[in-house]
Amino acid sequence: MSISSAAARSVRCSPNGVDTMLRLHGTKISPYYSRIWLQAQLKDLPLELVEAGPDDPTPDAMKARNPLGKIPFLEHDNRLFFESEVICEYLEDCFPEKPLRPASPEDRAKARLITRTLDLYVMPPLHALTPQIRAPQRDETLIKLLFTRIGAGLDVLATFLDRGPYAMGAAPSLPDCALAAGLWYLPCISARFRPDEDVREGHGAATAYWHHIRSAPVFMPTLNEMTTGYVAFRAALEARLAAARQNA
Ligand SMILES: N[C@@H](CCC(=O)N[C@@H](CS)C(=O)NCC(=O)O)C(=O)O
């Protein structure tokens, strides 16, 4: 387990008025972890990053404390919070300075709709592809169906991205954190099947949005850091698999 050295500072949580520590457990190549990391950067929250990947062989007592068995999870003032979007909302509630939720109920509903569209209609078919990566015999019919579903999810997302250049208009807000990390992640899986195709292309406003967000100064350095982390992760994974094949 490694802990980001720069970020361990105490912060004040407005509702209970106590100095407290924010620790985010997970890995930067997780789109769910990274949406919270991006949010913390936009809000200037001093978040301590604790590296704990889903396949991390290091025994991790904190990870074992998530009943969902997933990363990310947030440790705040000795309490644990699960599910990335719940954590993002919790942080907005605790730290209302630099709000990343729109002001009106109608716009909040729209912002949440955009994130839910990503979480319910784009990411699940992408994750369903994962077992096929190393399946002894890939199910090409299923793979085709899942790619169609990812595309359909992106097309629906495009209809909700009708403001621009950010999800809710001129300034970055909470759905941008989810979308930047989620759209960044798509080819990490999809390119394992279709290396010459970028699934983010050909989806109207969703594609235009991706082109904007990937080079927006507030997101680009972090997305680049995620890419560096992903390249290192893949290299280590391939080395581990090669060693296992040799020993078999
Ligand atoms: N809905 C969850 C999804 C989190 C998730 O799927 N995390 C993955 C890593 S990206 C994980 O922990 N997978 C391990 C597992 O499912 O066993 C969230 O938003 O936090």
DSSP per position, 132-162: HHT-SS--HHHHHHHHHHHHHHHHHHHHH--
CA of 32 to the centre of ligand 1 (A): 7
- Testing ligand 1's pocket by substitution, the residue of 25, 38, 71, 112 carrying the most ligand atoms inside 8 A of its CB is 71
Q: What is the tally of helices (H) and strands (E) in the chain?
A: 9, 6
Same structural domain for residues 35 and 123?
A: no
Residues 191 and 81 in one domain: no
Which range among 25-29, 53-57, 184-188 has the greatest average pLDDT? 184-188
Query: Does residue 99 lie within any of the structural domains?
Result: no
Q: Among 94, 129, 155, give the residue marking a domain's end.
A: 94
Residues 65 and 115 in one domain: no
Q: Is residue 4 part of a domain?
A: no
pLDDT, one tens digit per residue, over 66-77 is 888 889 999 998
**Same-domain status, 44 and 120:** no
Average the pLDDT over 105-116 and give the result.
Answer: 98
Mean of pLDDT values over 21-27: 92
Rounded-to-integer distance, Cα 110 and Cα 166, Å:
13
The residue contributing the CA closest to ligand 1 atom 16 is 70
pTM flag (> 0.85): yes
Q: Are residues 125 and 81 in the same domain?
A: no
Same domain, 135 and 83: no
Can you state the angle between helices 204-215 and 174-190, rounded to 10 degrees? 100
Q: Across the chain, what does the average pLDDT equal?
A: 89
- The CA–CA distances, whole Å, from 86 to 40, 95, 241 equal 14, 14, 35
Higher pLDDT, 51 or 125: 125
DSSP 97: S
- Same structural domain, 37 and 126: no
The encoded tokens of residue 194 equal 């279709």
Return the DSSP state at 122: I
Same-domain status, 86 and 189:
no
Q: How far is the CA of 122 from the centre of ligand 1 (A)?
A: 14
Which residue would you say has higher pLDDT here, 201 or 241?
Answer: 201
Query: CB neighbours of 224 closer than 8 A, spacing ≥ 6?
Result: none
Distance from the alpha carbon of residue 74 to the mean position of ligand 1, in angstroms: 13
Q: Crossing angle for the helix pair 105-117 and 140-160, nearest 10 degrees?
A: 160
Beta strand extents in the chain (DSSP E only): 11-13, 18-20, 22-26, 47-51, 73-76, 79-82
Q: Which of 94, 127, 145 is the last residue of a domain?
A: 94
Residue 197 falls inside a structural domain: yes
Mutate to test the pocket of ligand 1, among 25, 27, 32 (most ligand atoms within 8 A of CB): 32
Distance 71 CA to ligand 1 centre (A): 5
190: in domain: yes
What's the alpha-carbon Rg for the chain, to the nearest Å?
19
Domain containing residue 130: 105-242
Within 6 A (CB) of ligand 1 lie 30, 32, 54, 69-72, 83-85
Q: Tell me, yes or no, whether 100 lies in a domain.
A: no
Residue 42, classed as helix, strand or coil, is: helix
**Is 87 within a domain?**
yes
Is residue 248 assigned to a domain?
Answer: no
Q: What is the CATH number of the domain that holds 30?
A: 3.40.30.10
Cα–Cα distance measured from residue 142 to residue 132, given in angstroms and rounded to the nearest whole number:
9
Is 153 among the domain residues?
A: yes
How confident is the model at residue 80, as a pLDDT? 92
pLDDT 10s digits, 151-210: 999 999 999 999 999 999 999 999 999 999 999 999 999 999 999 999 999 999 999 999
Same domain? 119 vs 193: yes
Question: Residue 44 burial (CB < 10 Å; 0-12/13-18/19+)?
Answer: exposed
For ligand 1, the distance from its centroid to the CA atom of residue 247, given in whole angstroms, is 30
**Domain C-terminal end among 74, 94, 114:** 94
